[in-house]
Amino acid sequence: MSDVLAQAESVGNVTANLGFFLLFVIVTLMIVLRVSRTNATRADYYTGGHAFTGPQNGTAIAGDFLSAASFLGIAGAIALYGYDGFLYSIGFLVGWLMALLLVAELLRNTGRFTMGDVLAFRMRQRPVRAAAATSTLIVSLFYLIAQMAGAGGLISLLLQIPKDDSFSQAMVIVVVGGLMVVYVLFGGMKGTTWVQIIKAGLLLVGAAVMTTWVLGRYGFDLSTVLERATENSEHGEAILNPGLQYTNKVDFISLGLALVLGTAGLPHILMRFYTVPSAKEARRSVVWAIWLIGTFYLFTLVLGYGATALLPPGTITRENQNDAAPLLAYALGGEIMLGLISAVAFATILAVVAGLTITASASFAHDVYANVLRRGKASPDSEVKVARTTALVIGLVAIGGGIVANGQNVAFLVALAFAVAASANLPTILFSLFWRRFNTTGALCSIYGGVLICVGLIVVSPAVSGSPTAMIPGVDFAIFPLSNPGLVSIPASFLLGIVGTLLGGREQFDAARFAEMEVRSLTGAGAVRATTVTEEPRSTAVPASELAGAPIRGGAAARPRPAPGGNQPPRRSQTSRQAGELFGNTGLTGTQPAVGASGFTAGYGRHGGQGTGGYRPVHASGGFRAAPPEDPNEVTIPHGSIYRDDLR
């Protein structure tokens, strides 16, 4: 047995493995640096300017969701526990139906950047934004720790670092964390999205090649693969039946509930719905993601049982189960295949941790810094600076957590993050969208209560202590019998939301705001717009006098523009296009005075005013009451009583 494990730790060629690893890092860094040049506004950094198409975003969602838990953790769990390991795949996939039917379109129409935007639409901004940011940070850190733990084991396998060399493995996690921070600092959501799209393509192609290769070894007969796996497994035919990993049926139900309901509450998945221009594209994103994710999970079934069938008995253990897929790749195609699949797995980890980091940093900067600490008066530039600083801090915390959790099954750790997301986020989102009487007190009770109950039960559960597979196996302070607390914490969060709403019944119910939110969530009227080239922000308007020397295009030779005030005939066919390019097609052709609340220019009558701005409706430039607008990319399309969210 020791010879088998030693061989499993020294497969492949270090030079080839490192070459594939560096090639991926260099290519993706070049892409990130290239797209970072277009990050001109806060919307560009947070959501990619809301400009990705449904298929693009769906592929990116698949890349964001198919984490180390999906590729390394589930394949290892199936190889070790068989049927019970595949239940992770089923739970992860079914959860997307909740996201498609209840969350995707409504959230896209109602929010702008974060989950806190939805909650603050009709509740007191500061407390609910602080609660939403707290929940987002906790879920993201749970998820990040799982990914970093998977990265440590994977890169250690690539570089042939022994499992007992904890210092070298810790340094590997530090390097991965540093790369993660670089991607987020420079690329923002645009860079992160393209890395996720590339990663999804590589992962699906790599998994498809390995699946075809495994089936080809056994005449494309899945039954033969399963038969061979039962012969090699120490559990025999029990690997095809439930009960190897989850002997407690109640614990299994709790896990399934967390996986199914957690997807619709994951903050890094919710934030992806804001990267598309409309609710229709958000729905298309989810449909694309479901097809891609479902196809991949069918691959994991073959990969897990294929690893058990092809690898020598005893190769996959609880300590190295995350290495099942790379070891299978080595058994199939030698050093080259191992290097390719390990690079794909590293891309998987890097893309997911980048998405988690930008989500957590955006939530802190937008919800806590801009709206809680600065009370909505923070400038977009300062907000992005705070987001970048937060990304650095989150990276350091994730590195520390990954070092502590190194060696744990990443699918199990991610399941705990799903439980926290389902307990804290999902009840509050559903109540906010569908319950008229839901108020601030109910939201705070649901979020904080769900987080405290879920995390508290995890700490005193067999997942942390008191079992051979616990994070701290040497001690026993477990008093809660279930490894996953979802069965208790999720209903408790819903109940706390109801009780809190009833206790906070003295809060004044704003029927108009709920009606406005309902119309906006269902129809998309007033939803945030996508960034376009003509909407790039300009710091100042250009006076008409400065246009005198600008050449007029369209003739055989450039001609100087006549000075303003002369008796020259109008040249509307040419100047209208130029004015649109200069002023973002807002209709401004000269310096504009501020517009008062009544819609008239300040200091002027109905028909007076400078330039062409004598009378201009309030909503003529997107709801701004001063010209020129500071950032037209971040204004909601006006309808009815909708006004700029950050002015409330």
Q: Which domains does the chain have, with CATH numbers?
A: 2-423 (1.20.1730.10), 529-547+573-648 (no CATH)
As beta bridge partners, residue 559 has 552
Query: What pLDDT sits at residue 387?
Result: 87
Q: How far is CA 16 from CA 116, 310, 385, in A?
A: 46, 23, 39
Read off the amino acid at residue 153.
Answer: G
Query: What pLDDT sits at residue 636?
Result: 39
Q: How far is CA 116 from CA 179, 282, 366, 379, in A?
A: 28, 19, 9, 18
Peptide linkage before 628 cis (omega within 30 of 0): yes
* Residue tagged 């950032």 (tokens): 631
Query: What pLDDT sits at residue 69?
Result: 67
Token pair for 2? 């020791």
Could you tell me how many residues make up the chain?
648
Q: How far is CA 467 from CA 167, 296, 460, 476, 583, in A?
A: 26, 32, 12, 8, 66
What radius of gyration do the chain's Cα atoms show? 27
629 and 622 Cβ atoms separated by less than 8 Å: yes
Quick one: DSSP state of residue 601?
Answer: B
Give the global pTM: 0.73
Query: What pLDDT sits at residue 94?
Result: 87
465 and 471 Cβ atoms separated by less than 8 Å: yes
- Helix axis angle, 74-81 to 83-98, nearest 10°: 140
For the chain, residues with pLDDT lower than 70 are 1-12, 68-69, 153, 157, 163, 407-412, 509, 526-648
CA-CA distance, 170 to 400, in Å (whole number)? 9
As beta bridge partners, residue 465 has 472
